[in-house]
Amino acid sequence: MKKIVYVVVLLLLLCNISAFAKDFLSNQDSRDRFIRLEVIVDEGFKSTNIRIDNLRDDIKDIKTFMLWGFGILFSGMGILIGFVLWDRRTALAPVIKRYEELEERQEKIEHSLKELAIQDKKVGDTLRKVGLL
């Protein structure tokens, strides 16, 4: 008996659902609503795709700009390092030349004082006190 009641209730539910579906789909207003909804959803997808494409183009432009920016930055840094090395070399060259000239002059003076010390005893004693002989 319970099985028969379940079967009857199930059949009634199925009949009601199919009748509702037929009634719902047979209504022209409902079809028009679905068509409009479909058109709106398609337009939304198209506009979303267009926006995504525009974002991709913008990202490519930003990448290009960043690559150029970093290229210019690192080139400038390389040029700056080269300039510093060149400037240091050119700034030190006159100092090194002057230092060598002074060393040569000092050697000549020491040599002449040693020769003078051989001839003069006082000069020799003085140079020994200072530590040059």
Using one digit for the tens of pLDDT, what is the confidence trace for 85-122? 999 888 888 999 999 999 999 999 989 888 888 888 88
Number of folded domains in the chain? 1
Predicted structure pTM score:
0.45
The reported pLDDT for the residue numbered 85 is 92
Statement: residue 24 has pLDDT above 70? no
Q: Could you tell me which residue, 51 or 25, shows the higher pLDDT? A: 51
Structure tokens at 71: 């290229």
| 132 phi, psi to nearest 5 deg | -90, -15
Measured at the alpha carbon of residue 78, what is the angle toward residues 74 and 81, in degrees to the nearest 5? 135
| Token representation of residue 41 | 């959803």
- The whole domain housing 75 covers 2-130
- Cβ 99 vs Cβ 83: under 8 Å: no
Cα R_g (the chain), whole angstroms: 51
As given in the structure block, the two tokens for residue 101 are: 């000239």
Report the percentage of the chain scoring pLDDT > 90. Answer: 39
- What single letter denotes the amino acid at residue 85? L
